[in-house]
Amino acid sequence: MRRIAVLASGRGSNLEALHAYLARGGARLGEIVLVVSDHAEAGALGVARARGIAAAAITGGRDDDGAELAALLAARRAELVVLAGYLRLVPPTVVRTYRGRMVNVHPALLPSFGGRGMYGARVHRAVLASGARVTGATVHFVDEQYDHGATIAQWPVPVLAGDTPETLAARVQRVEHLLYPRAVAALATGRVMLDAQGHALWTGQAAASPAAAFALEPLEDDALARTIDGALVS
């Protein structure tokens, strides 16, 4: 599953992180062959074009049957679909086609703080309002409901005194940018799959362990990346 399509509505920082990670790993990990947005002016489309990746905007809409998206994915022979800040519900026909081959990243520890309307700053505001001391990033398979499919990997992030939605978002995004590319590469190379019971099944060692949770903050990016690698790689 090396041919990857990315769906993104926003600025595309997760797309950038995935592209950079795959470029470092070479073609063996996978290649982004298409970026699709439901916003013609999305930053993600600019990120794609600047890197020579095919980019397309779709109109979508209320009674979107998914035909436009399905045709784009088929034309680029996409094998894996990566949602990176895609705000629209993926039409059920496309979900069915890509079951077990479509993933999303959410900026909280699902099943908390997810679902319809829970995106961007709203998620972090809700976390702060709840008084939770830990939040994080979740990578999960996509099913027919928002933020609902089987969890592939999670990484915790502390909520600190004085946090605002912005400071919390930045701390979570840093982890997303390290965790998501590694989880996508694991799926692309067959180290994790959706099993018959509807759960994420890792081959070898299980997904990212939360054991190092509170050691994350002092770590430099490289050290954090190695910690995550150590937990994800068997």
Return the active site residues.
Answer: 106
CA separation for the pair 77, 72 (Å, rounded): 9
d(CA 162, CA 128): 10
Q: Does 8 bind ligand GRF (CB under 6 A)?
A: yes
Contact flag: residue 200 with ligand GRF (CB under 6 A): no
- Does residue 156 belong to the site contacting ligand GRF (CB under 6 A)? no
- Smallest gap from residue 104 Cβ to ligand GRF (A): 7
176 touches ligand GRF (CB under 6 A) = yes
The answer to the question of residue 114 lying near ligand GRF (CB under 6 A) is no
CA dihedral 87, 92, 95, 99 (to 10 degrees): 140
- Nearest Cα neighbor of 4 from 71, 78, 97 is 78
**Mask 83-112, x = binds ligand GRF (CB under 6 A)?**
-xx-------------------xxx-----
| Whether 137 contacts 172, CB under 8 Å | yes
Q: How far is the CB of 118 from ligand GRF (least distance, A)?
A: 10
The single residue among 6, 10, 157, 187 that binds ligand GRF, judged by CB under 6 A, is: 10
- How many Å apart are CA 201 and CA 98, to the nearest integer? 17
With CB under 6 A as the rule, give the number of residues binding ligand GRF: 13
Burial (0-12, 13-18, 19+ Cβ within 10 Å), 186: buried
Q: Which residues bind ligand GRF (CB under 6 A)?
A: 8, 10-14, 84-85, 105-107, 173, 176
